[in-house]
Amino acid sequence: MILSDQTLTVALVALALDAALGWPAALFRRISHPVVWLGALISALDRRLNHGRHRMLRGAVATGIALAAALGPALLLTWLLLPLPAGPLLLGILAWPLVAARSLHDHVAAVARPLASGDTAGARSAVAMIVGRDLDDRPAPIARAALESLAENTSDGVTAPLFWAAIAGLPGIAAYKAINTLDSMIGHMSPRHALFGRVAARLDDLVNLPASRLTGGLFALAAWSRDAWRVMRRDARRHRSPNAGWPEAAMAGALGVRLSGPRSYGGIPSPEPWLNETARDPDPGDLSRGLALYRRAVLLIGLGLALLLAL
């Protein structure tokens, strides 16, 4: 299955359901969430395998087990359901929880609202739910952190899952989500995971490569901004991540602000380069503008999928 009517239907149905409903709290209370199930497996593999010698090999085995745990059921369900008249629709419903368009918007809006009203302590508390850096109560660093998270996670949580769903249906989005969850849990360069998570981190870089560039282009198109294109082409590769710089640089150019830049984690400075360095720092209004840009970009994704399906 490569970019067929069936896979496009899976992607479009998943996006439509997520945009309309998110993941309802009642469903979460009843069955939790597939990413939570996968996270529990990865945590168990981390505890069981991340010790002793050959850490990188052990991490590769853990990555393979987690990927198989996600991909196996997705392949079986596709084999069972796809031949049915409503098969692609049913598979789209199953893919629904693996798209995070609504939850990302809601998490960033929870920062934007108190920040706009001057409640910087409330905004800092809300942004701490989505970023791990050190922050004080100044509005600019809070807005900057939230905009960076919005830009990067548009790629990781929306564009990339839908890209792989459009390419390979439920197995594509399930495999992507497994790799992305592995990276978020064991792919960071801490002493514990520098070797154990290396395979997961490199896989995540690979599967996010097309979506990160696509997301930057979507932001530039949604903003109808030459500056977004210019800053993205000039600055994206300056980012520490091979992928996050593309949507972040496009967001910076579209809003006329600077993003990334120096920060600290647990009191340890991290001298990151600026994106759009000569621009001003973002303010609370820019966070609201960023959310509006995000909504237009997600709408473009939906329209693109519908257009491809209609061709």
Q: Which residue has the tokens 């997961």?
A: 200
pLDDT band at 1 (very low <50, low <70, confident <90, very high): low
Is residue 278 predicted with pLDDT exceeding 80? yes
Q: Mean pLDDT across the stretch 264-269?
A: 82
Choice between 265 and 60, residue whose per-residue pLDDT is larger = 60
Backbone angles phi, psi at 270, to 5 degrees: -130, 100
Q: What contacts 157, CB < 8 A, 6 or more positions away?
A: 99, 100, 101, 103, 104
Per-residue pLDDT tens digits for 7-50: 999 999 999 999 999 999 999 999 999 999 999 999 999 999 99
Per-residue pLDDT, 286: 97
Is residue 2 predicted with pLDDT exceeding 80? no
DSSP-based three-state secondary structure for 22: coil
pLDDT band at 306 (very low <50, low <70, confident <90, very high): very high
- Nearest Cα neighbor of 240 from 264, 261, 223, 222 is 261
Per-residue pLDDT, 265: 82
Q: Of 16-20, 168-172, 262-266, which gets the smallest average pLDDT?
A: 262-266
Q: What contacts 270, CB < 8 A, 6 or more positions away?
A: 133, 262, 263, 264
Helix (H) or strand (E) holding 181: helix 160-186
Question: In the chain, what percentage of residues exceed pLDDT 90?
Answer: 90
pLDDT band at 135 (very low <50, low <70, confident <90, very high): confident
Residue 291 Ramachandran class (φ > 0 left, ψ -120 to 50 alpha, else beta): alpha
Rounded distance between C-alpha atoms, residue 23 and residue 97, angstroms:
6
Q: What contacts 207, CB < 8 A, 6 or more positions away?
A: 160, 164, 176, 179, 180
Average model confidence (pLDDT) for the chain?
Answer: 95
Q: Mean pLDDT across the stretch 187-205?
A: 93
Look up residue 127 and give its two tokens. Answer: 């942004």
Is residue 155 predicted with pLDDT exceeding 90? yes
Long-range contacts of 235-240 (CB under 8 A, 24+ apart): 235/274, 235/275, 235/276, 235/277, 236/275, 238/273, 238/275, 239/272, 239/273, 239/275, 240/272
Helix (H) or strand (E) holding 113: helix 101-116
Rounded distance between C-alpha atoms, residue 300 and residue 279, angstroms:
27
Residue ranges covered by each domain of the chain: 5-310
Per-residue pLDDT tens digits for 77-122: 999 999 999 999 999 999 999 999 999 999 999 999 999 999 999 9
